[in-house]
Amino acid sequence: MIIRRVAANCLAVLSSVFERNVSNNFLSLLSSIFSKMNLAAEKSEIIKWVNSLESPAVIEEINKIRNRKSFDFEKEWERGISGEELKKRTKEYLKTLPWKK
């Protein structure tokens, strides 16, 4: 987060100070560099978070995502259920639970 703010501030200062003397290509290059710095910082945060995980279920889900070859949104959409079907299945499931009266 801090790097993102610093990068944005640096880019704003450079573009305002050198607006007339710096080409758009140079500003695009700076923007690209800061973007890569942000990406590296975000990757670092994700690595720290993953290293702190202790739940096998969460790690298993992350591995499923990591090992997924591709994601076909249309195919997944077709496999989905409607809101009405969700209600129906939920009601059926709730009826199977051992409720105390």
Hey, what's the torsion of the CAs at 42, 43, 44, 45, to 10 degrees? 50
Q: Is residue 101 part of a domain?
A: no
pLDDT for 90 equals 94
Each of the 101 residues of the chain gets a pLDDT tens digit; together they read: 565 666 666 666 666 655 555 556 666 776 777 777 778 888 888 888 888 988 888 889 888 888 887 878 888 888 888 899 999 999 999 999 998 76
What is the count of structural domains for the chain? 1
Q: Is residue 32 part of a domain?
A: yes
Q: Is residue 57 part of a domain?
A: yes
CA distance 27 to 36: 14
Domain hosting 64: range is 2-96
Q: Is residue 91 part of a domain?
A: yes
Q: Is residue 12 part of a domain?
A: yes
Q: Is residue 45 part of a domain?
A: yes
